[in-house]
Amino acid sequence: MSSVPVVLGPAVADALSAHRAVVALETTIVAHGLPAPLNLEVAAACEEAVRESGAVPATIGVHGGRVVAGLSAEELAELADPRREVAKLSARDLGLAAAAGIDGATTVAGTIAVAHQVGIAVMATGGLGGVHRDAATTFDESADLMTLARTPVLVVASGVKSILDIGATLERLDSLGVPVVGYQTDRFPGFYRRDAGFALEWTMDSPAAAARAFAAHRSFSPSGWLLAHPVPAESELDAELHDAAVAAALEEARIAGVTGKAVTPALLASFAERTGGASVTTNRDLVVANARLAGHVAVALAALS
Ligand code: PSU
Ligand code: MN
């Protein structure tokens, strides 16, 4: 049986063989989460933020069936091109996409599955997928949760989006054994807002503390972590605008009858329209801040071993 190799970008290969800090970045936010041309600018800004923290960025995706950790600028630009057909790949889709020889962007689940295989322990994204509000009837829960439960990667994210059922998502992370740790906060962030209304039991106040605790966690559990990093205060979306847009986006998706993996991109697009693009600016700022923090955590983690 032939196995599928993960192709490493040159800088990622060097860093991994020297046991230096590497941060995995996803591509679904590039191909399906943000509008062009901002999507590519944000992807580049995330890579730059990781480098400024002293770590090496490994943007992950599938290019012509090659599963790549450390996409080149050209490969990334192709996945960001809205004229191209780029599949949305969760962990379960990776082998199929490789066998089919297609282009694909990886979700958090798809990204951590690849990252872990090559020895990358830290990832940054905007928001983790979660339990959708109608999950009691649709069973729509992102595979991000189950995959994070069995993949020891620390994911830095600004919580989950408020278009989801945040309380149910936190309950599922509890059942699945995934620690949810606030970074310099004891409130769970709701992506566009710094406080989604839920208290957190664990807080870390520095990258070094987070790295030590994550390393300790790995002695007892195969799961990853959600390190919850609130959006910078100056980039937070206005509360009223936010609440109105959430209600409208959910109603629009319900009427359109969107299902399956189209749900998250559809909600994000309608949210962007409802907020006159403000949600996109917020999204950009938080994801870059998360990449920066992930870089610092990866550096601290590398220093432990
Ligand atoms: N966060 C963002 N934008 C996104 C996503 C997260 O700021 O586009 C993507 C991530 O890739 C996440 C995915 O893994 O949405 C979840 O999709 P689903 O609910 O279909 O699992
Ligand atoms: Mn889903």
Q: What is the 3-state secondary structure (H, E, C) of the chain?
A: CCCCCEEECHHHHHHHHCCCCEEEECCHHHHHHCCCCHHHHHHHHHHHHHHHCCCEEEEEEEECCEEEECCCHHHHHHHHCCCCCCEEECHHHHHHHHHHCCCEEECHHHHHHHHHHHCCCEEECCCECCEECCHHHHCCECHHHHHHHCCCCEEEECEECCCECHHHHHHHHHHCCCCEEEECCCECCECCECCCCCECCEEECCHHHHHHHHHHHCCCCCCCEEEECCCCHHHCCCHHHHHHHHHHHHHHHHHHCCCHHHHHHHHHHHHHHHCCCHHHHHHHHHHHHHHHHHHHHHHHHHHHC
Atom of ligand 1 nearest to the CA of 109: 14
In a domain, 273, yes or no: yes
pLDDT > 90 fraction of the chain, expressed in percent and rounded: 87
Q: Residue 115 maps to which CATH number?
A: 3.40.1790.10
- For the entire predicted model, the pTM comes to 0.97
Average pLDDT over residues 293-299: 98
**Residue 210, pLDDT above cutoff 80:** yes
**pLDDT tens for each residue of 129-142:** 999 999 999 999 99
pLDDT of residue 236: 95
Is 26 a known active-site residue? yes
In a domain, 1, yes or no: no
- Of 47, 75, 161, 236, which is the active-site residue? 161
In a domain, 14, yes or no: yes
165 lines ligand 1 (CB under 6 A): no
In a domain, 185, yes or no: yes
Q: What is the mean pLDDT of the chain?
A: 96
**pLDDT tens for each residue of 146-163:** 999 999 999 999 999 888
Q: Provide the domain limits for residue 269.
A: 6-304
Structural domain total, the chain: 1
Is 161 a known active-site residue? yes
**pLDDT tens for each residue of 39-75:** 999 999 999 999 999 999 999 999 999 999 999 999 9
